[in-house]
Amino acid sequence: MHRLLIATTNPGKLREYAAIFAGLPLTLHTLADLSIADDVEETGETFAENARIKAEYYARCSGMVALADDSGLEVAALGGEPGVFSARYAGPDATDAERVAFLLRKLEGVPFHARLARFVCVIALAHPDGAVEYAEGMLPGVIELAPRGHHGFGYDPIFYVLDEDATLAELPPERKNQISHRASAARAARVVLERWLMEGRL
């Protein structure tokens, strides 16, 4: 089996990747598995830059191919905000509920049809030899006028998906994981991993 480092401490994220990479001859490791406690400062201005910073750093630390992702919400009416600042949009220690409330206040007076948004996820796969490849996923939606649903986390209660006629927080987790921006990026990353396995680079 070949080894792949998933640069996360989030067990839910690891489960999502394990499901999408099922069938590949890969053993997935987390930072905790390798006792890597270092945190990397995400100083990039784009999702791709932040994902690359993390993937390259952990590939160097571990000597393994490392996968890192960065994701967030982009709202057209706010010029693409919160973008890379999605997690700290309402301040570094804000709760999910406070971030949602902050975003809704910024959109006060904006009608539903003008609240177009998208979730974006960019995955960077970094090889210890310095090679980096990217995979991207996106989920379009509309920002709701008020939170709905009890599943998910972050901005899920106000992210309405037209095709599902529901917010992400109203969908069962299994369905959300099928259509999410991360799932779509992970499926694209699987194609890169399959190629790297064929080329003997993993």
69 is catalytic: no
Long-range contacts of 153-159 (CB under 8 A, 24+ apart): 153/96, 154/73, 154/86, 154/87, 154/96, 154/99, 155/73, 155/86, 155/96, 155/99, 155/100, 155/103, 155/119, 157/100, 158/100, 158/103, 158/104, 159/73, 159/117, 159/119
Phi, psi of 38 (to 5 degrees): -65, 140
> Which one is catalytic: 70, 96, 129, 165?
70
Q: What angle (nearest 5°) sits at the alpha carbon of residue 44, between those of residues 127 and 178? A: 65
| 65-75/116-126 β-pairing | antiparallel
From CA 172, how far away is CA 97, in angstroms rounded?
20
- The residues carrying an active-site annotation are 70
